[in-house]
Amino acid sequence: MSTVSETHDVSPAASGDAHAGAHDHPSDLKYVKIAIILAVLTAAEVSTYTFDITGGLLVAILIPMMIVKFAIVAGYFMHLKFDSKMFTTMFVAGLTFAVSVYCVLLTIFEFW
C-alpha cells in the first residue's frame, strides 16, 4: 500500500475566518476627514435654500452634490472602495437608474 500525503490549505480564507487577510480599513483620521467633507457638502446643500434659486438650476446644483455624497458614503462607510468592483457597479447602476427616474418624473410633471 502506498501512502498519500495530503497538503492542507491553512490560508485565512480556508480556516473559516472571513475577515482575516481582508482589506485594510482606513485609519480613524481618514474617517474624521471624510466626516468633515460630508459635513461641508451637507452645509452647501442646505445653504442653497438661502439663495433665490428655483427650478432646474436648483436641481442641477443639488443632484451632483447628492451623487458625490453617495459615492463617499458607499465607498468608505459601506466599504465598496475595498470590495469587488461588481458591488460598486451595482450601486452606481442603482443610483443612475434612480436619478433617471427622478428626472423623468420631474419632466412629466413639468417641473423644468
> Does residue 67 contact residue 95 with C-beta atoms inside 8 Å?
yes
Give pLDDT, residue 12.
47
Within 10 Å of residue 76's Cβ, how many Cβ atoms?
A: 20
Give pLDDT, residue 110.
81
Q: What does the domain layout of the chain look like in residue ranges?
A: 28-108
> Does residue 58 contact residue 48 with C-beta atoms inside 8 Å?
yes
Cell triple for residue 55? 427650478
Per run of 10 residues, the mean pLDDT along the chain (length 112 residues) is 49 48 75 94 92 82 88 84 84 87 88 68
Give pLDDT, residue 76.
85
SS (HEC) of 6-47: CCCCCCCCCCCCCCCCCCCCCCHHHHHHHHHHHHHHHHHHHH
Question: What angle do the packed helices 85-108 and 55-72 form, to 10 degrees?
Answer: 170
Give pLDDT, residue 15.
46
Give pLDDT, residue 74.
84
DSSP 56-112: HHHHHHHHHHHHHHHHHIIIIIS-TTTS-HHHHHHHHHHHHHHHHHHHHHHHHTT--
